[in-house]
Structure 1
Amino acid sequence: MRIRDEIPGDEAAIYTLTKIAFAPVEMSDGSEPQIVDRLREGGNLVLSLVAVEEDQIVGHIAFSPVTLSSSQGHWFGLGPVSVQPARQRAGIGRQLIEKGLERLRSLDAAGCVLLGDPTYYGRFGFSSPGDLTYGEVPTEYMLALAFQTERAKGEVLYASAFGG
């Protein structure tokens, strides 16, 4: 398996992968494939990586800019991240996340935020600062990883592609 940047022509495979990866997710409203497309169309898909195995895309991760109401610097949001259901729990998501975070650091990003499971994302260094908010989401699920000295705080404003 190799990880590479998304290239023209990957769009349909990423859409299909994201759709099937999120289909069984109870918390999903099914909008994740459209979010990725809208991020791309709006110029907000800053980093889009795919995992390729035997010329098939088996994983994808998206990063887009976010604004934090009480933090400075260039912050990014992680997500959605998708892995082919038959290939889940094989380390593909982990590799995509690690490579993506490495690339964000090289862009002089202040850090990365996400809405997710603290237990899973804690292994990558994400934690809940307690004062990072996104609508009515409980603060323990709003996670951040600071790359520089300033920590994440305030309301998270995602790109309009997320519909909020």
Structure 2
Amino acid sequence: MATTIRPEAPSDGDSIEQVTRRAFLSHPYSHQTEQFIIRALRADHALSVSFVAEEAGRVIGHIAFSPVTISDGAVDWYGLGPISVDPEWQRRGVGRALMERGLAELRKIGANGCILVGDPAFYTRFGFANNPALVLEDVPQEYVLSLSFGTSYALGKVRFHSAFQAKGPSDRR
């Protein structure tokens, strides 16, 4: 069977939360709040781009992008995250397919770039790099990665949407 990458549908919310919870359950740097972040982003209408990976009618992965604020006033920059793939489907190209589709959609909607917090070994393959001029408070610099979609570069302090502070199921921040 082939994996399909498609926009999130209103009926996907519970499946996305389950996949996200399973994906981050044993992640060493997770506080297991990623599913609450997605819920809070959706509630605040801040999910700018949201795709699911589906196999035989079952959601097996998800990627989310939301606007970020940068202290230099740069506009149309987005934060990636969370991205999740059900553990039984990891290392099969699902994450790569979600990344490629999500980044293509950001370019399509006119984004200037994307910022994320993650493992450089994974994200550099998509063109992300560490830019010491972009700082995210309380995050080690080597994990703050960015990708510009043209000649627009951002400098300064990055702030993800307040939904990234969500700690529980009813937390909207």
Please give the alpha-carbon distance, in whole angstroms, between the structure 1 residues aligned to 2:84 and 2:133. 28
Please give the alpha-carbon distance, in whole angstroms, between the structure 2 residues aligned to 1:41 and 1:29. 21
Equivalent pairs counted in the alignment come to 164
Q: Deviations over 1:36-57 (max 9, x none)?
A: 0000000001111000000000
Conserved? CA contact 1:144–1:152, under 8 Å: no
Tell me what 1:96 maps to: 98
Please give the alpha-carbon distance, in whole angstroms, between the structure 2 residues aligned to 1:4 and 1:95. 11
Conserved? CA contact 1:110–1:146, under 8 Å: yes
Please give the alpha-carbon distance, in whole angstroms, between the structure 2 residues aligned to 1:121 and 1:63. 15
Any unmatched runs of 5+ in structure 1? none
Q: What is the RMSD of the two structures over their aligned residues, measured on CA atoms?
A: 1.1
Structure 1 stretches (4+) deviating beyond 3 angstroms? none
1:84 aligns with 2:112: no
Conserved? CA contact 1:131–1:139, under 8 Å: no
List aligned pairs for 1:109-124, cutoff 5 A: 109-124=111-126
Structure 1, 98-107 or 134-143: larger mean CA deviation: 134-143
Any unmatched runs of 5+ in structure 2? 167-173
Q: Deviations over 1:101-137 (max 9, x none)?
A: 0000011101000001111100000001112111121
Structure 1, 1-10 or 150-159: larger mean CA deviation: 150-159
Please give the alpha-carbon distance, in whole angstroms, between the structure 1 residues aligned to 2:73 and 2:129. 16
Tell me what 1:66 maps to: 68
Residue 71 (structure 1) shift: 4.8
SS at match of 1:70: coil
Please give the alpha-carbon distance, in whole angstroms, between the structure 2 residues aligned to 1:101 and 1:151. 17
What fraction of aligned residue pairs are identical, expressed as a percent?
46
TM-score (norm 1): 0.97
Tell me what 1:24 maps to: 26
SS at match of 1:73: coil
Tell me what 1:141 maps to: 143
TM-score (norm 2): 0.92
Please give the alpha-carbon distance, in whole angstroms, between the structure 1 residues aligned to 2:154 and 2:143. 14
Tell me what 1:47 maps to: 49
Residue 8 (structure 1) shift: 1.0
Residue 98 (structure 1) shift: 0.6
Tell me what 1:3 maps to: 5
Tell me what 1:130 maps to: 132
Please give the alpha-carbon distance, in whole angstroms, between the structure 2 residues aligned to 1:152 and 1:144. 9
Structure 1, 30-39 or 152-161: larger mean CA deviation: 152-161
Higher relative contact order (CA 8 A, sep 6+): 2
